[in-house]
Chains A and B, each alone.
Chain A
Amino acid sequence: MSLHIGGSWDPLVRIKELVKNLRILSSIPDGGTASFSTIDFIRPVSILPIASYAFDHNITIQNANSYLDSIEFPEGTNTSEFNKIGQTYFPITKADLKSANRDGREEKLRFLSDQYPKLLRRNIDDQEFLDRVGNNVFYLLISEMVDNIMEHSEADLAYIFSQFWPANNSCEICLLDNGIGIYQSLKNADRSVTNDMDALQKVIRQHLSAKDEFGSQKRGTGIKNTINLLSNNELNGYFCVISGNAGYFIDNNGRNHFINLTQVSWNGTIICMGFQKPPKHVDIYEYIR
């Protein structure tokens, strides 16, 4: 039962690899053991779901390397320990929502979406990158996705992990939760959806949302605006969402795929967003509806 993390920079290849790794993990009983056969180059989307799954199911992962130790794999650090995180130390971050009441959950997630963008910027040692991307890109990407966790997920745990690679001027952010997922969230709001794929397709194509406002259904804008911001010629990025056994991937090269996950399902939602140093300062308001 060996997990494999290869060296590809192609996000779609890494998502395919992640699904394979999750399939392996899901075949291991709780409290069991798995190991890495290969760890070539770790990206947030390659490792965060593995960390979350291993932690939730008490699975021990052997052959972890020193980098994984440095990011506190698999447990991560809690949001309450943000002040201990230094310039070169950027671990997996976890918001434990289990014991909190509604106000407490909101407080933890509000803190995450307020503080994490600042922490991420502090760990990017490239002033030109920061100037061109600006504060707003980080705030927008993280806040819209954390807001979805807060509003719809009913999750006990939310995780976030990011990396910046100065060598190729790119950044990847992965967020996930162990909540009810998109399909169940829409179903609970009495939306007409039949399964994970149907729900995800309606969210992406028709902007279906679980939100109601004064008795009428609202359209979802968070994912739509995030995709608009990432899949363009400025940020040259990509966006991926996995919920249940359905996924969606889009990038600035015209790749645009729904993904059917076989023999594996994620209980909750995984979001992955990547982008590169833009040629000039990005005005987020050109991409928001």
Chain B
Amino acid sequence: MSIFDKHINLRKEFDVSALNNRATAKKLVKRIESSWVNTVVLDFSDIEFASRSFLDELNSHLPHIDKEVKMTNMNSSVREMDELVQKPKDHSKAAFSNSKATSESELLTF
């Protein structure tokens, strides 16, 4: 990392061990955009879990940001979610066939 890179430790930045929501991602995007450097490093050290919502929001904004953004120190769980979010939807490994509850809904009145 050069001295001209911005390093953001996400654990310290948000004081959480799980990045769980879109609002956090939006805040992070603003933080990246407001930085004067060309390269921002997002450090996922000590982040146990990142939700689909968080990573979807973050990844959807990254192509529109005029900076290089690097992600480091993702644990296997966070990395897997990130890969899943970035996969084209048709190639998802989601195993819906495992569910028995696919029948047509019956309307109940309570």
Residues of A within 8 Å of B24, CB to CB, are 106, 110
Interface residues of A in 241-289 (CB under 8 A from B): 247-248, 250-262, 285-289
B51 and A252 contact, CB distance less than 8 A: no
B43: interface (CB < 8 Å): no
Q: A214-B60, A285-B84 are in contact. List 14 more A-B contacts (CB 8 A).
A: A106-B21, A109-B23, A110-B23, A110-B24, A139-B49, A221-B53, A231-B99, A232-B98, A232-B99, A252-B100, A254-B100, A259-B108, A260-B108, A289-B84
17 A-B pairs with C-beta separation under 8 A: A110-B14, A111-B16, A113-B20, A151-B21, A214-B64, A233-B98, A234-B98, A256-B104, A257-B106, A259-B107, A260-B107, A260-B109, A261-B110, A285-B81, A286-B94, A287-B95, A289-B89
Number of A-B contacts (CB under 8 A): 142
B33: interface (CB < 8 Å): no
A135: interface (CB < 8 Å): yes
Interface residues of A in 69-126 (CB under 8 A from B): 106, 109-111, 113-114, 117-118
- Across the interface, B109 reaches (CB within 8 A) one of A15, A221, A250, A262, namely A262
A222: interface (CB < 8 Å): yes
Q: What count of chain B residues pass the 8 Å CB interface test?
A: 41
Q: How far is the CA of A256 from the CA of B100 in the complex (A)?
A: 10
Interface residues on A, range: 35 or more
Residues of B within 8 Å of A146, CB to CB, are 20-21
